[in-house]
Amino acid sequence: MAKKQVLVACGAGIATSTVVNGAIEEMAKEHNLDVDLAQIKIAEVGSYVDTADLLVTTAMTQKDYPFPVINARSFLTGIGTEDTKKEILTALQK
């Protein structure tokens, strides 16, 4: 399976994306997935359109991208985290 580039974005690219970035890193290790994580601001997503395979974000986005976009606010609330993890894993295993 080819290495996937995963964008992990929040408003400032610092706080909430760090929480999600750590969770994805852990999931990738557990499932032996080769991922390249890029922790960024949501405003920077456009510059990765040609290289990214997945966007996981805690920020609001209404733009369409040529890759799946997964809302990860559940990592902040603790509600629905397992469902979000499954959604991320499914996207990474494609």
Q: Which residues are catalytic?
A: 10
If you compute the radius of gyration of the chain from its CA atoms, what whole number of angstroms results?
Answer: 12
35 forms bridges with which residues in the sheet?
4
Q: Is 55 exposed, middle or buried (0-12, 13-18, 19+ CB in 10 A)?
A: buried
SS3 70: strand
At a CB cut-off of 8 Å and minimum separation 6, what does 17 contact? Answer: 8, 9, 10, 39, 40, 57, 58
